[in-house]
Amino acid sequence: MLRIVLAFLLGGFAGGAFNMALVTVSNTVYPLPAGLDPNDFEAFQAHVESVGLPTGALLLVLLAHAGGSLVSGFVCRLVAMRDCYRTALLLGVFWLCGGVVMLTLLPAPVWFAVADVLLYVPAALLGVKLCSRLFSGRGAPVASK
C-alpha cells in the first residue's frame, strides 16, 4: 500500500514537473504580448477569449498534458510495480479532471478540447507499458493489471 501511495505522489510530481517544463517552453516559443501578466488569470483569460492562442502553442500544451500523464504512468511503474496500472489510471483521471476544469475556464478550439480530454488516461497507461518494455529482462518485476 505504501508503494501505491508513493507511486501516486511521485508520479504526480514528476508528471506535473514535465507538464510545467513544456508549458514554460511553450511560453518561450510563443511569448505573451508585452504588458500581459501571466500571473493575472483574468487578464490571460480575456486575452485568450479575444485573440486565442497560436496552433503551435496549443500543440505544445497538448504535448505537455499527454507527456505529463505519460511520465506519471512511467514513474508509477517504477515505484508501484504490482498495482501500477491502477495507480497510473488514477493519475490519468486526476490529470483529466484538471484538464476539464481548465477547459471550462479558458476557451479552446473543439479539436484541442477533444484531443486533450482523450489523451490523459491512455498516455498514463502507455507510460506504464513503455517503462515495462524498457526494463523488461533487466530484473524489473512484471507489472500486474
Q: Using one digit for the tens of pLDDT, what is the confidence trace for 26-40? A: 989 999 888 888 789
Cell matching residue 119: 489523451
For residue 36, what pLDDT is reported? 87
Residues in the chain predicted with pLDDT less than 50, given as ranges, are none
Nearest C-alpha neighbor of 91 from the set 103, 79, 104: 79
The pLDDT assigned to 81 comes to 80
Tens digits of residue pLDDT in 70-95 = 999 999 999 988 888 999 999 999 99
